[in-house]
Structure 1
């Protein structure tokens, strides 16, 4: 990529990000109430997205071959336990990721 192409790419990514951040505030102003369907999506989508992430993370795990998915299952248990204990998403995600990386690199070689 040339420098001009890189600048154009960065600017387009920036504009796309800004558009997706600002557009809801332009559509749903304080004057009009937010439609019930949009409120429902705001409540349902976070759980659905996390469910899809869990499925994506374990889709290629071979539970019949050694180590039988143990690092993934242990890391998910640690993530769940941390979240139930602390109720802080960053702590849960970081703790589960560190646990998984430790298990894969040091324990289940």
Structure 2
């Protein structure tokens, strides 16, 4: 890749990133009401994504062999308890991930 191509590529990446960051503020200004569809997507998409991630993480777990999915179940319980207790998605995900890694590396 030549220097000119590299500069053009970097410039396009910067433009695409800036466009995706600023466009929502331009389209949905404070003066206009946010469309109901956007509110709906903002309300229901995050839980749907996390539900899909849980299904993806558990798709290869063998509940009838090996450790019977015990580390996964314990980690899901830890994640759920942390989320109900703290109501913080970052703490919940980090706590569940750390719990799973400790269980896999040290116990199972």
TM-score category of the 2 structures, normalised to the smaller one: 0.7 to 0.9
TM-score normalised according to structure 2 size: 0.84
Q: CA deviation at 1:15?
A: 3.3
Change (3 A) 1:78 1:13: farther
1:80 aligns with 2:80: yes
Question: What stretches of structure 1 of length at least 5 have no aligned partner?
Answer: none
Q: Distance in 2 between matches of 1:7 and 1:63?
A: 52
Could you say which residue in structure 1 is the equivalent of 2:91? 91
Task: Point out the more displaced range, 39-48 or 58-67.
Answer: 58-67
- Aligned residue pairs total 107
Q: CA deviation at 1:19?
A: 2.1
TM-score normalised according to structure 1 size: 0.83
Q: CA deviation at 1:62?
A: 1.7
Could you say which residue in structure 1 is the equivalent of 2:56? 56
Question: What stretches of structure 2 of length at least 5 have no aligned partner?
Answer: none
Matches within 5 A, 1:1-109: 4=3, 11-108=11-108
Q: Root-mean-square deviation (CA), in Å?
A: 2.1
Q: Distance in 2 between matches of 1:73 and 1:6?
A: 47
Q: Distance in 1 between matches of 2:8 and 2:75?
A: 40
The runs of at least 4 consecutive aligned structure 1 residues that moved more than 6 Å come to none
